[in-house]
Amino acid sequence: MVIRMRHTRAHTANRRSHHALKAPTLAVCSNCGAKHRPHHMCLDCGFYKGRMVVDMSAKKKAREERLQAKKEAIQAQTGDYGQTDLAPVEAEKVEEKVEKVEVKEEKKKKEAK
Ligand SMILES: [Zn+2]
């Protein structure tokens, strides 16, 4: 609803009386004890109603393997940066900054002359 005119404070308060957030209701997993949405599979262990619906440990393992493969692919593509923990994009930014600083120093030297 679009508010076109000034309302009284009471009118505004009445409208806002429904704006409070409610805490979500959560159920406790019968298998691992973690909290999960009621009538939904437990996201920690993949159990629903006492039986395994999705093998979450296998999913986790597959995900880690996927991430590792991706990391290796990136490293092979960009070349190893040695001991720096920076991602390739960040390392490039640092190099750009270093170049800019060098250019500034050169300008200063020229001005000094
Ligand atoms: Zn669980």
Supply 11's token pair.
Answer: 């009118």
Per-residue pLDDT tens digits for 64-101: 999 999 999 999 988 765 555 666 666 666 677 777 77
User: Where do the H-state alpha helices sit in the chain?
Assistant: 9-16, 56-78, 88-112
Which residue, 7, 12, 42, is CA-closest to 28? 42
58 vs 61: CA distance, rounded Å:
5
Instruction: Please determine, for residue 40, whether its predicted confidence score (pLDDT) is greater than 60.
Output: yes
**CA 67 to centroid of ligand 1, rounded, Å:** 24
- In this prediction the pTM is 0.45
What rounded mean pLDDT belongs to the chain? 84
**CA 16 to centroid of ligand 1, rounded, Å:** 38
**CA 22 to centroid of ligand 1, rounded, Å:** 24
Instruction: Please determine, for residue 31, whether its predicted confidence score (pLDDT) is greater than 80.
Output: yes
